[in-house]
Amino acid sequence: MIGQPQSKGNYITAVAHVVKPKPEWSVWLGEIIHDARSALDNLAYELTSKYPDRLSAYAQRPKCGATKLKRLIHFPIYKDSHEFSSNWKVRDLKTLLDPEEFTAIEDAQPYKRYQSDALSDPLFVLQELNNIDKHRSILIVDKRLQFSGKVGNEPFGRSASVRKTGAYLFRIPVTNPVGPECEVEMNDPSSHIFFAKTGLCCDDEPIITTVRALIHDVRNIVNDKFSRFFSQSKGTPLP
């Protein structure tokens, strides 16, 4: 904060110096998203690695080969059952796994877990954020300040977006008219970073909270749904 907050009429005015989000934050965020998505692809590859004979036979197919095989195997994520069942990579993956393993992958699909709103499924959000990061620096992030305090006995609060570094004058509305003599107590503004312009349900949601939830979901899927398919040495739960 810069200076003492002032009260007048139906507003409290305050000046704060803020710093816009740094460009490298988007890069770091993209790496975190990519690592979480890659954990699922690694899971799919580990599942298929249990069956070297199947992999070897698959690699002999025209236009495949061992090198290309590693790029073809992935953990599918689909919001629609038709898209899932009609995708040729998914059909090929089915031939490489035991039925129980493939069923576990199908049960993890957004259209299965969030039948009423697959677009809100954490795996779908993770998939789309990862796709965005492939084509541009992830996600234009939006920095916001949260103001809170009280004037007299009336509490107040407000969120304000910040796009540039500098000093900002904020006008915070209050319910009851106040005069300049009224005592104002304001907490130091807290800074939060939000997703913005992704076109997903995570827009306007705090980045740290959202990313933690996505990672937690991946961890639960790996530990709860797939660790049983590996020996004890390979089935150690993710921390």
Q: Is residue 43 part of a domain?
A: yes
Query: Residue 234's pLDDT is what?
Result: 47
Mean pLDDT, residues 94-122: 95
Task: Give the CATH number for residue 154.
Answer: 2.60.40
Query: Residue 2's pLDDT is what?
Result: 52
Distances in whole angstroms, Cα of residue 126 to Cα of each of 7, 39, 117: 44, 12, 15
Give the Cα separation of 141 and 62 in Å (integer): 44
pTM (two decimals): 0.76
Of the pLDDT bands very low, low, confident and very high (cuts 50, 70, 90), residue 159 is: confident
Q: At residue 151, does pLDDT exceed 90?
A: no
Q: What is the pLDDT of residues 181-235, one digit of tens each?
A: 666 777 766 667 888 888 999 988 888 899 999 999 999 999 999 999 987 544 4
Q: Which of 85, 106, 136 is the last residue of a domain?
A: 136
Give bridge partners of residue 178 from the DSSP assignment.
9
Q: What is the pLDDT of residues 2-40, one digit of tens each?
A: 556 676 677 777 777 667 777 788 888 899 999 999 999
Q: Is residue 117 part of a domain?
A: yes
State the average pLDDT for the chain. Answer: 82
Q: At residue 65, does pLDDT exceed 70?
A: no
Residues 91, 126: one domain?
yes
Tokens of 143: 């920095």
Q: Which of 87, 108, 136 is the last residue of a domain?
A: 136
Residues 30, 20: one domain?
no
Give the Cα separation of 181 and 173 in Å (integer): 17
Q: Is residue 103 part of a domain?
A: yes
DSSP 22-73: PHHHHHHHHHHHHHHHHHHHHHHHHHHTT-HHHHHHHHTSTT-HHHHHHHH-
118: domain range? 26-136
Give the Cα separation of 8 and 202 in Å (integer): 37
Q: Is 76 helix (H, G, I), strand (E, B) or coil?
A: coil
Q: Is residue 38 part of a domain?
A: yes
Query: Residue 181's pLDDT is what?
Result: 64
Mean pLDDT, residues 160-173: 69
Residues 127, 182: one domain?
no
Q: For the chain, what's the residue count?
A: 239
The residue with greater pLDDT, 106 or 168, is: 106
Domain count, the chain: 2
Residues 161, 130: one domain?
no
Of the pLDDT bands very low, low, confident and very high (cuts 50, 70, 90), residue 93 is: very high
Q: Is residue 239 part of a domain?
A: no
Residues 52, 19: one domain?
no
The residue with greater pLDDT, 39 or 236, is: 39
Q: Is 221 helix (H, G, I), strand (E, B) or coil?
A: helix
> N- to C-terminal Cα distance for the chain?
40
Residues 103, 155: one domain?
no
Give the Cα separation of 37 and 124 in Å (integer): 10
Q: At residue 236, does pLDDT exceed 60?
A: no
Residues 82, 179: one domain?
no
Q: Which of 89, 104, 136 is the last residue of a domain?
A: 136
Tokens 């007299």 belong to which residue?
152
Q: At residue 177, does pLDDT exceed 50?
A: yes
Residues 33, 65: one domain?
yes
Q: Could you tell me whether strands 140-151 and 154-162 are parallel, antiparallel, or unpaired per DSSP bridges?
A: antiparallel
Residues 56, 98: one domain?
yes
Q: Which long-range contacts (CB under 8 A, 24 or more apart) does 150-156 make?
A: 150/184, 150/185, 151/7, 151/12, 151/178, 151/182, 151/183, 151/184, 151/185, 152/176, 152/178, 152/182, 152/183, 156/12
Alpha helical stretches, state H, the chain: 23-48, 52-59, 65-72, 81-86, 88-96, 99-107, 110-113, 122-135, 207-220
